[in-house]
Amino acid sequence: MRALLLIDIQNDFLPGGSLAVPGGEEILPLVNTLQPQYELVVATQDWHPAQHQSFASQHQGSQPFEQIDLHGLPQTLWPDHCVQATPGAEFSADLDQHRIEAIFRKGTTPEIDSYSGFFDNGHRKSTGLADYLRGRGVREVHLCGLAADFCVNFSALDALKEGFDVVFLEDATRAISAEGYAQARQELQRRGAQFAGR
Ligand code: VGL
Ligand code: ZN
């Protein structure tokens, strides 16, 4: 059984959003075409409290995209994005949502970021996604969405660690940084992810 994971296809990661991923909107037609090819479609949603400590606005004198140490973990500081119950946190109106059976929210704890849809960045708290997928009989996870070098990448890494076969749908994702994605891709390949669509 195969599942399609739609990672963070939210307004703030799309044109006009506060953390727009270059070309992010280009994936939407393909993502919508792909969905009926899967028995199960699941989405993740970045869902931060307004005071989330991954936001540069919460650190005096810091700018977005700076690197800091946050409670012992390396952290990129971001513009405020995907704040709970704001329009930026909503899924794109151009995303077909009718086949999404479950939505896993992440990034809700103010002190720790959560790129992966499975665990926070410290691997302390599970979202329950892996158990949900196993409960549904899923063996193979295909990933698409935003951003290739952050949330799609870390979700794919955790899916591999959880023992799923992983396919990274390259045409249906876009990266914040091309160099960051090139590095992430090598590591994913080394760990056994497959790449489809390029
Ligand atoms: C993401 C940075 C911060 C993502 C989420 O969805 O890739 N990136 N929060
Ligand atoms: Zn975030």
Dump pLDDT digits (tens) for 102-113: 999 999 999 999
Where in the sequence numbering do the catalytic residues fall? 8, 106, 151
pTM of this prediction exceeds 0.95: yes
Q: Are strands 67-70 and 73-76 parallel, antiparallel or unpaired?
A: antiparallel
* Cα 163 to ligand 1 centroid, rounded to whole Å: 23
**Residue 88, CB half-sphere, CA atoms under 13 Å: how many?**
19
| Ligand nearest to the backbone CA of 78 | 1
Q: Is 12 in the pocket of ligand 1 (CB under 6 A)?
A: no
Give 130's pLDDT tier (boundaries 50, 70, 90): very high
For position 198, what pLDDT does the model report? 57
Instruction: For residue 38, give the nearest of 133, 109, 122, 120 by alpha carbon.
Output: 133
Place of tokens 């990661």: 13
What integer is the mean pLDDT of 12-38? 98
For domain 2-51+80-196, give the CATH number: 3.40.50.850
Ligand 1 in reach of 151 Cβ (< 6 A): yes
Q: Check residue 197 and give its pLDDT.
A: 80
Does residue 186 register a pLDDT over 80? yes
Ligand 1 binding pocket includes 150 (Cβ within 6 Å): yes
ipTM of the prediction: 0.98
DSSP H helix total and E strand total for the chain: 4, 8
Structure confidence by residue, pLDDT tens digits, 34-79:
999 999 999 999 999 999 999 999 999 999 999 999 999 999 999 9
Q: Give the number of the atom of ligand 1 that is nearest the alpha carbon of residue 10.
A: 6
Residue to substitute in 18, 48, 78, 181 for testing ligand 1 pocket (most ligand atoms within 8 angstroms of CB) = 78
Q: Which ligand is nearest to the CA of 154?
A: 1
Looking at residue 179, its pLDDT comes to 97
